Amino acid sequence: MTVVERGIYRIEVTRELCKACGLCVAWCPQKVLASDDEEYPVVVNAAACVDCKSCERHCPELAIEVIPAIQAIGQQAGSSMPQIRFMHGNEAAAEGAIAAGCRFYAGYPITPSTEIAEILSQRLPEIGGIFVQMEDEIASMAAVIGASLGGLKSATATSGPGFSLMQENLGFAVACEIPCVIMNVQRVGPSTGMATKPAQGDVMQARWGTHGDHPIIVLTPSSVQESYRLAVRAFELSERFRTPVILLMDGIVAQLKERVELPDAPTVVVRSLPTEPPETYRPFAYVPGGVQPLAPFGSGYRYHVTGMSHDEFGFPTEKPEHVAEWRRHMASKIDDHLDDILEWEEYGVADADVVVISFGATARSVAFAVEQARARGIKAGALKILTIWPFPEAHVRAIAARVPRIVVAEMNLGQIRLEVERVVAGRAVVQGVHRADGLAITPEQILAAIIDGGSDPSPHLRESPHSQAATASRDRLGAS
């Protein structure tokens, strides 16, 4: 291995592999590289490197690698310096999974989530983990479940069409209380839709995609830093509550590149193990507000796992009293800990006359629009939801009790807006800024809704069919 030069980024060339073809030099957009007398790459402008990795991607021999130099400094023994990285959201989510202790990944590549699989296919074997590219998303989810039952913290990544295929096995993981993490990078749908265009249309699929009544935890990052942090948090919540957790990203956050600070000593999520002997172990004990530790297969604990309604030992049952008790257990393990699960950020809500609710990449446009509105003397506030399921009902209801108007901005046709309307229940006017054409909602569209939303709705600010029906019903009652 030859270190070409150390700058902000360290560029390493394996001379034994390098054929001096010059492609890395030709494809460098910043002109960082040049060829020496032997046609091997050398760095001539290290400060210009932006870690685009174009040189890596175009090297046919895989002979060149770009590594942030400060990352190596942060990893020195005894160093307390955080690692400073310039990465995109998919990379941050992958690194967050590794930091949390993920050691098994099974998946099928699909844009715009593919980089997660690519990165973990390299990183996991380096640390003793396992990466498997499956034949499809159905098998991917099944493999993740099996690995988790075997004691490994496990994950997969996909996008809308693949997420649809995972739903049956996702329901099995819910019913059998198997911890795992699903990273869904949303794109325009339905069906194949637009493979590389962002959307936020999987919100309700994340909540109700698998059939039946069931609890679920869904986290939604709006920045690359949050992609890393919430990936770690997804594993923490998954292990604590023995449940699948969905990291619901969108194509904008996934492909966005930002500066990220990684902790110098990430906290690895530790799975609790049972303390009682195998002969009395109840793998699905109805623990009010809690869960029984999951014993890995092969550890001396034998138990039955089935997607059918089951008793505390895992065997199928149709006794109504057992099924009702199981459902209470499944609900209470989430509902009794909402203060630990729910997370949001808000700005300017205390004195606001209008509050904009958003999540994911749309929250970035909302933040700028609210600042512009404040600069014009409009008392606007923003609520950014980080835990979208369970939905922060009590907090949204409290906002509606003191704010006359709420605007919901999302890259779909109103999935969370309907949820807000349900929670608000007429306490405040609820309006929406919606877009589902593959482009981001701009700050200008949100600002227009903040300023003019109470008068003439724009094409992106329409009453939902639910609201229209309610208005028509009230009109008919008034006429009668």
pLDDT at residue 1 above 50? no
% residues pLDDT > 70 (the chain): 89
Distances (CA, A) of 43 to 31, 47, 58: 9, 10, 17
pLDDT of amino acid 461: 42
Phi and psi, residue 102, nearest 5°:
-60, 130
How many CA atoms, within 13 angstroms, populate the side-chain half-sphere of residue 418? 12
pLDDT of amino acid 345: 97
pLDDT in tens, 134-176: 999 999 999 999 999 999 999 999 999 999 999 999 999 999 9
pLDDT at residue 78 above 80? no
Mean pLDDT on 9-15: 82
CATH class of 344-479: alpha beta
Distance, CA of 62 to CA of 65 (rounded, Å):
8
- Is the domain spanning 2-74 CATH 3.30.70.20? The answer is yes
Residues of the chain with CATH 3.40.50.920: 344-479
Phi and psi, residue 69, nearest 5°:
-65, -35
Task: Of 199, 206, 186, give the one whose Cα is nearest residue 391.
Answer: 206
Cβ pair 79, 103 in contact under 8 A: no
Paired sense of beta strands 9-13 and 2-6, if any: antiparallel
For domain 83-262, give the CATH number.
3.40.50.970
pLDDT of amino acid 76: 43
Mean pLDDT on 17-35: 90
pLDDT of amino acid 4: 46
| Paired tokens of 55 | 């040189």
Residues of the chain with CATH 3.40.50.970: 83-262
- Confidence tier at 8 by pLDDT (50, 70, 90): low
pLDDT at residue 466 above 80? no
pLDDT at residue 436 above 80? yes
pLDDT in tens, 400-435: 999 999 999 999 999 999 999 999 999 999 999 999
Q: Which amino acid is at 149?
A: L
pLDDT in tens, 351-362: 999 999 999 999
> Peptide bond before 459: cis, by omega within 30 degrees of 0?
no
Q: Which amino acid is at 472?
A: A
pLDDT of amino acid 232: 96
pLDDT at residue 5 above 50? no
pLDDT in tens, 219-237: 999 999 999 999 999 999 9
Distances (CA, A) of 308 to 25, 149, 168: 59, 17, 13
pLDDT of amino acid 13: 85
Mean pLDDT on 294-316: 94
Least confident of 132-136, 262-266, 374-378: 262-266
pLDDT of amino acid 476: 47
Mean pLDDT on 306-321: 95
For all residues of the chain together, what is the average pLDDT? 89
Question: Which range has the top average pLDDT, 80-94, 253-267, 323-337?
Answer: 323-337
The full length of the chain comes to 480
pLDDT of amino acid 358: 98
Task: Of 427, 414, 423, give the one whose Cα is nearest residue 466.
Answer: 414
Coil, strand, or helix at residue 237? helix
pLDDT at residue 251 above 50? yes
- Confidence tier at 12 by pLDDT (50, 70, 90): confident
Residues of the chain with CATH 3.30.70.20: 2-74
